[in-house]
Amino acid sequence: MIRKLLQAESVSRIVDALLPVLATLAALGVGGVMLLLLRVNPIEAYAALWDGAFGSSNAFAETLVKATPLLLVAIGICISFRGDVINIGGEGQMIVGAILATWVGLTLTEMPGWATITLSLLTGFVGGAIWGGIPGYLKAYFNVNEILSTVMMNAIAVQLMNFLLRGPMIDPSQAQLASKIPQTARLLEIFRLPRFVPTRLHLGALIAVVLAILVYILLWRTTLGYRIRAVGQNPRASRYAGIKVPRYVVVALLLSGAFAGLAGAIQVFGVNYRMITDGSASGFTGSAGFNGIVAALFGQLHPLWSIPASILFGALLVGANNMQRAVQVPSALVIGLNGLVVVFVVSSELWRRLRQRRRLVSEGADSETVGGRDDHPASRTEAAP
């Protein structure tokens, strides 16, 4: 009986681990049906998607560039979700971190390049932490719903960005033109993250991978990480054990916002070399603040598994653009395909949690049955005198 339970549990865990992959395949299958309706060969379209993401060293480098902000947001999401705090504010935290980092890069022009880059990235980290810590404080001490507060903080960050990039921080050359494109001046060349030439892949990708490893160590090898996870698992039991629950709620959102802020700073110093927008959050972030949540869920909220998950979603974003050019599908289909993957992956995460609850209930019932048989007098064998 026990052996059967263990075998069933191992199979169930394998299924849970494969759910995000199956969800992605299902989303691509639905996308294939949509392609057929448009009279496009799905095999040819997906071949173009693969070629655009992995077909050459330059294509793979572009995939890693797109995956870098996703990974940084994702490892922050791993921290907040493990603490049972839902951070939907990655977009705003990226923007605030980028604004502060850009200001440092444009102001401290007399310092050595490495010093300015380091200080700018740290400033972006702190800026995102502050922007994430505000909803965390409101959640911990005033019971304000963090989903609503982080979304509202996104809106505030967008308006702040639009004000600064059209006014105090606008590129002086644009200020003299009638168009006045909302963008800052370009960073000096010595203040840009090193690139792995001849591609656009920059040092930020390596920084993101190293930080993912460090966040894994933080969550599973330190007292701070243990307390964050304990609060996320059971706040009441954690409070009874002496853990100050409100403090770790704030810390979880603060750290989550910090990594999103760093993602914004790296996007400026590694890719754009200036801050520019079309007036919306995605004009700068490319929706990395939201896509990073999906990458974290795909990686089972584990920092290390978030690395391949982020690369996968980076490949989808880069490859979808190549698919659009190769088979001439509408841009709306590309957006819809990415949306399908998001919906299916998030749904698979909800289904996985439901399966876990059912498995726990089933295991509890089976253990009671087995225990009842062992304790029953008729099931006992008396020793020979």
Give the three-state DSSP class for 174. helix
Instruction: Write down the pLDDT at residue 255.
Output: 98
- Chain centroid, CA 26 distance in Å: 21
Q: 108 vs 114, 125, 197, CA distance in Å? A: 12, 17, 27
Task: Round to whole Å and give the CA distance between 98 and 28.
Answer: 34
Let me know the angle formed at the C-alpha of 140 by 139 and 144, rounded to the nearest 5 degrees: 25
- Confirm whether 169 is domain-assigned: yes
Let me know the angle formed at the C-alpha of 309 by 200 and 359, rounded to the nearest 5 degrees: 175
- Confirm whether 203 is domain-assigned: yes
| CATH number of the domain where residue 177 is located | 1.10.3470
Q: What is the pLDDT along the chain (385 residues), one digit of tens a residue?
A: 556 555 656 777 777 778 888 888 999 999 999 999 989 999 999 999 999 999 999 999 999 999 999 999 999 999 999 999 999 999 999 999 999 999 999 999 999 999 999 999 999 999 999 999 999 999 999 999 999 999 999 999 999 999 999 999 999 988 777 778 899 999 999 999 999 988 999 999 999 999 999 999 999 999 999 999 999 999 999 999 999 999 999 999 999 999 999 999 999 999 999 999 998 988 999 999 999 998 998 898 999 999 999 999 999 989 988 898 899 888 778 788 888 888 888 888 788 878 778 877 776 665 555 454 444 433 433 333 3
**Short-list 136, 17, 155, CA closest to 85:** 136
Instruction: Write down the pLDDT at residue 333.
Output: 83
- Confirm whether 35 is domain-assigned: no
Domain that holds residue 299: 41-328
- Confirm whether 247 is domain-assigned: yes
- Confirm whether 22 is domain-assigned: no
Q: Quick one: how many helices (H) and strands (E) in the chain?
A: 15, 0
- Confirm whether 377 is domain-assigned: no
- Confirm whether 201 is domain-assigned: yes
Model confidence, pTM: 0.89
Structural domains counted in the chain: 1
DSSP label at residue 249: H
- Confirm whether 180 is domain-assigned: yes
| C-beta of residue 102 within 8 angstroms of C-beta of residue 268 | yes
